Amino acid sequence: MKGNLRIKVIILAMIDFNKMVDNYVRREQRQKTIGRYYPSEIGICMRKLWYSYRFPGETQPDLLKIFEVGNIMHDFVVRVLQSRKTPDIELVKSEFPLRFDGEDFIVSGRVDNLILIKSSGQEVLVEVKSVADVSYVSEAAHHNKMQLQLYMFITGIKHGILLYLDKKNLQSKVFTVEYDEEETKRIIARFGELHGYLKIGKLPDAEGRRSVESTWMCKFCEFRERCYAATPMSKEWL
Query: In the structure, what pLDDT confidence band is assigned to residue 31 with cuts at 50, 70 and 90?
Result: confident
CB-based contact 31:52 (threshold 8 Å): no
pLDDT in the model for residue 28: 58
Least confident segment among 11-20, 116-125, 174-183 = 11-20
Question: pTM for the whole thing?
Answer: 0.88
Sign of CA dihedral 26, 28, 33, 36: negative
More confident residue, 191 or 20: 191
| 232 Cβ contact list (under 8 Å, min separation 6) | none
Q: Over 70: is that where the pLDDT of 156 sits?
A: yes
CB-based contact 212:237 (threshold 8 Å): no
Q: Over 80: is that where the pLDDT of 126 sits?
A: yes
Residue spans of the domains in the chain: they are 36-204
Question: Could you give phi then psi for residue 235, rounded to 5 degrees?
Answer: -65, -35
Q: Residues 193-233: pLDDT tens digits?
A: 999 999 999 999 999 999 998 898 898 898 999 999 999 99
- Average pLDDT over the chain, rounded to an integer: 91
Helix axes 17-25, 61-82, angle to 10 degrees: 80
Average pLDDT over residues 24-38: 82
Q: Hey, is 150 helix, strand or coil? A: helix
pLDDT in the model for residue 62: 79
Strands 172-178 and 122-131: unpaired
Cα 42 to Cα 144: distance, rounded to the nearest angstrom: 10
Q: What angle do CA 151, 33, 217 make, to 5 degrees?
A: 65
Q: Over 90: is that where the pLDDT of 158 sits?
A: yes
Question: Which residues on adjacent β-strands are paired with residue 122?
Answer: 117
Cα 142 to Cα 232: distance, rounded to the nearest angstrom: 27
DSSP assignment letter at 134: G
> Length of the chain, please?
238
Question: Which of these CATH numbers, 3.90.320.10, 3.40.50.920, 1.10.606.20, 3.40.50.12500, describes 36-204?
Answer: 3.90.320.10
Q: Over 60: is that where the pLDDT of 155 sits?
A: yes
Query: In the structure, what pLDDT confidence band is assigned to residue 57 with cuts at 50, 70 and 90?
Result: confident
Q: Residues 77-121: pLDDT tens digits?
A: 999 999 999 999 999 999 999 999 998 999 999 999 999 999 999
